[in-house]
Amino acid sequence: MNIKKGDNIKIISGNDRGKTGKVIGAFPKELRITVEGVNIKKKHVRPRAQGRKGELVKMPLPFPASRAMLVCGSCGRPTRAHILPGETKKQRVCRKCGSAV
Ligand SMILES: [Zn+2]
């Protein structure tokens, strides 16, 4: 998985196809990400304390990172990030314009 928190991504499949958003959470172990405004699920919250109302909370749920593509910061196109081999620090590079992302 080469998407990390803070990246801009574009959804390429599923109900939210075509949407773009910022990654707000990455779960590399599960290969899942959460993205602002994508895969929103409504959750009914029961009133916990007396006098409080139950409410409907909308929250983005994690979905498989394979449904998203990284959007390059310099050329603005969705791309597969490529990690340069042989570098000590992992440097992701845009496949299309070659700049670091
Ligand atoms: Zn690029």
Ligand 1 mean position, distance from CA 76 (Å): 6
The CATH number for 68's domain is 2.30.30.30
Ligand 1 mean position, distance from CA 84 (Å): 15
Number of domains in the chain: 1
Ligand 1 mean position, distance from CA 10 (Å): 14
Ligand 1 mean position, distance from CA 62 (Å): 26
Tell me the mean pLDDT per 10 residues along the chain, length 101.
90 92 95 94 84 85 93 85 69 80 72
Closest CA to 28 of 62, 77, 69: 62
Cβ-based burial of 39 (10 A; exposed 0-12, middle 13-18, buried ≥19) = buried
In a domain, 46, yes or no: yes
Domain range for 34 is: 8-72
Ligand 1 mean position, distance from CA 75 (Å): 4
In a domain, 44, yes or no: yes
Is 14 in contact with 32 (CB distance < 8 Å)?
A: no
Give the residues across from 71 on adjacent strands: 78
Q: How far is CA 32 from the centre of its chain?
A: 8
| pTM for this prediction | 0.78
